[in-house]
Structures are given as C-alpha cells and as structure tokens.
A and B are shown apart, each in its own frame.
Chain A
Amino acid sequence: MPQIAQLGETYASQIFWILLIFGFVFFVVGRGMVPKVMETVSLRDKQITEDLSAAADARSQADQEEEAWRKRENDNRAKAQAIIAEAKAQSAKATEARLTEANVAIDARMEEADARIASARDGALEEIETVATEAANDIATRIAGVSVDEATARAAVKEALNG
C-alpha cells in the first residue's frame, strides 16, 4: 500500500502541496470569485422581485383605469339613454298635439256637415208639409167640397205627420 509504504518520504511534500494548492483554490476561487457569482445571483433575484412588483403595480393601475373607464362609459350610456327618452317624450307630445288639432278640425267639419244635413232635412220636411197641405186642401175641396183655409190644413198635416 503506497499510501503507507511511501508515507515517510512523501508526507511533507503532500502536506505542503495540498496546503499551497488548496490555499490557492480557497483564496482565488472561494474568496475571489464565489462572492461575485453569489452577488450576481442575488442581484438577479432582486431584479426579478422588483420587476414582479412593478408588473403587479402596473396591473393594479390598469385595473383602476379600466374601472374608471367603465364608470365613464356607464355615465355616458345613462346620459344617452336620458337624451333618447327625452326626445321620445317630446315627439310623443308633438304627435299628441297634432292629433288633438286634427281631431278638433274633423269634429268641426263633422258638426258643419251635420248642420247642413239637418237643414237640408228641415228644408225637405217643409217642402213635404207644403206639398202635403196643398194636396190635403185639394183633396178636401174635391171630395168634400169644403174649402179649408191654409192654416188649418197645415196644422192638420203637421199633426198627421208628427203623429
């Protein structure tokens, strides 16, 4: 076993070189480089945390702006609805007014027409009475030989007509 057989002549060299070389590794790599590597890692972790929190902030701000936009949008919609409702009411009112006007005109014309019809009927009745009176006078003269004055005849006719 060379580890033991050569121990006497090699231990000094082994101890010297491993101390020297491990010392080199410790001071150059361990003390010199490893802290830089770990600093890079922690810097990256820090930046990732910061970026994440910035992203969260941006998202909450976006949410707020969306909320505000939605509110504005709802307000505008409500305003538009109000305008539409007002316009509808106005137009309904105008229509009603014109309808009333037209109704009044039609009523007036109908009344006028009724009046005309009534007067025409009255005229016609008068004429019928006159004709009937004359006819009654005639009939009375011819059949009974009685001459009836006109007023009596008319009264009699009126009585017969109106029942």
Chain B
Amino acid sequence: MNSNDFGGRRGAVVNAREVEDVAAEQGKVDPMHQFSIHPIFGTEGWEVAGYNVAFTNSALWMIIAAVAVLVFVMGGLKRELVPGRWQMAVESMTGFVDSMLAANIGPAGKKYVPYIFSLFMFILFANVLGLMPLALVGVHPFTFTSHFSATGVLAVMSFTIVLIVGFWKHKLHFFSLFVPHGTPLPMIPLIFVIELVSFLVRPFSLGLRLFVAMMAGHVLLEVLSGFVISGVNAGLGIGPIVSILSFILMIAICALEILVAGIQAYVFALLTSLYLNDAENLH
C-alpha cells in the first residue's frame, strides 16, 4: 500500500465519520464509533518501507499508557530501605510478576521478569486508561487493546519469544513438546498433529481473548448508555424506568469492566509465562 492509496481510503473514512456524526445528531449512539481510528498527524509522508505509519489516536493512547507506566515505575525508584506507599506499590507489582514467573517456570523464569512486567503493566494501564471517564473533561479515551491489530502484535511477539527460546534451548528436541509422555506408538502421529495445531493456535487465542474482552465490555457500556439516552428522550412512561435500570446496570458493569481490565492483563501475562514454561522446561 502506498500513500496515494491511503489518501483515497482516508477520504472514505472521513465520509464514514460524517455519516456517523449525522447519526449522532439524531440521538442514536453508535457503539462501534469509539473503536474507529483517526489519524492525528502524519497522514502524508510518514512512511516506513513504503507503509504509512500515521500517528493516530491509537498511537497517542499507546504513548499515554507507556508514559503512565514510566511515571508509575519511576516513582518506585527511590530505592529507600523503608518504602513509601508509591515505592511499595511498584515493588508489589514487580514482586507479583516475579513470583508468578517463579511459580510457573522456576528459577529460570527470573530472566523474563522485564518482558512479562512490561507486557502486564502496558496492557493493564491501556485497559484501565480506556475505562477512565475522561469524556467528562472532553478527552475521549481510546482503548488500543480493543484492536486485534495491536493485541495481535503483542501475542505474536510472545509466541515468537517462545519459539526462539524453545529452539535455542532444545534445538529440534523442542518438537517433543507435541508428544506427551506415555503416548502409545500408534497414537503418536495423531497426537502430534493435535498438539501442533493447539500450539499454533496460541498466538491467535492470546491476542483475540484480550481484544474480544475489551471490545465486548466497551460495546456493552456504550449500548447501555444509548438506552439511558433513548429512555430519557422518550418522555414520560416506560422511558425513565428503562433509563434508571440501564444506568444501575451500567454502574455495575463499570465495576466489572475494571475487574476485567485487570484480569485480562493478568491472563495475558500468565499465559505468556505458561508458554515460556513449555519452551524452558518442555513437558
């Protein structure tokens, strides 16, 4: 794809946005609008090897998440003997990742702490920042973890590390991962194929799980907020009741989404560490 193509497509996107704006004026809430990516700058000429890498709202929120992680961890770098609250928080996060790796991989897991910690904190901050009610002050948060083009990169990265570590450490013996101990000889070809497929599915399940969980929650919240607005606009009668019930449900789901934001970051880090365990220790 070259930049001329992108210009044409951008025109299409602008038209789509105009249509969406018209829809919004009519009081309808489009639950998918929140996921659309808008270039902020760099639509022309920002190219890497012929691919346009425009700076989008998605990239902006990646940077915000990265800066938040940076600021958070920097606060824990005071290196005091008796830690303050902030340092304690940072140390408990590193301790959490460290103990997770120690439990899943063993002593060899220590060297993956920087990677798993970065992954966990980056996803956690991205998820939580996407849930912040910043629209109240006119800023629209963008949850880049609700895009499989972003989560897929993280998943493929984890999978690639697993492959590199596995083949580096065990050479071709790594393929014994696909034949569990005690498999009867006639079953080996079948089991090998099944295990190989389940192994190759890992990056997809890893990336899609996070993307689906984040997107579903945001869509649900958006749909419910649409109900609240429609209910109020419907005037007296059943409308306000629907609004109140939807609003109560929204509050509950907001709490649930905060939980999901943490859990999905944890699951991503946990599964990556489990896959790394396969690569380090085979079965």
Contacts and interface: CB of A to CB of B under 8 A. Distances in A.
A and B from one assembly?
A: yes
A26 B149 contact: no
Contacts of A13: 37, 39, 52-56, 58-59
A38 B83 CA distance: 13
B114 A35 contact: yes
Interface in B32-86: 32-33, 35-37, 39, 48, 51-56, 58-59, 62-63, 65-66, 69-70, 73-74, 76-77, 79-81, 83
A44 interface: yes
Interface residues on B, range: 35 or more
A162 interface: no
B56 A10 contact: yes
A123 interface: no
B1 A6 contact: no
A14 B95 CA distance: 31
A37 interface: yes
A15 B149 CA distance: 7
A3 B56 CA distance: 14
Interface string A1-40: 1110111111111111111011011101111011111101
Contacts, number: 141
A34 B113 contact: yes
Most buried by B among A8, A11, A18: A18
Nearest to A14: B149
A10 B119 CA distance: 22
Given A21-B59, A22-B154, A31-B114, A37 B37 contact: no
Contacts of A18: 62, 144, 150, 153-154
B9 interface: yes
B140 interface: no
A47 interface: yes
A14 B153 contact: yes
Interface of A: 1-3, 5-19, 21-22, 24-26, 28-31, 33-38, 40-41, 44, 47
6 nearest CB pairs, A to B: A30-B114, A12-B51, A30-B118, A17-B59, A14-B149, A2-B36
7 contacts: A10-B58, A13-B54, A17-B55, A18-B154, A22-B119, A29-B121, A40-B80
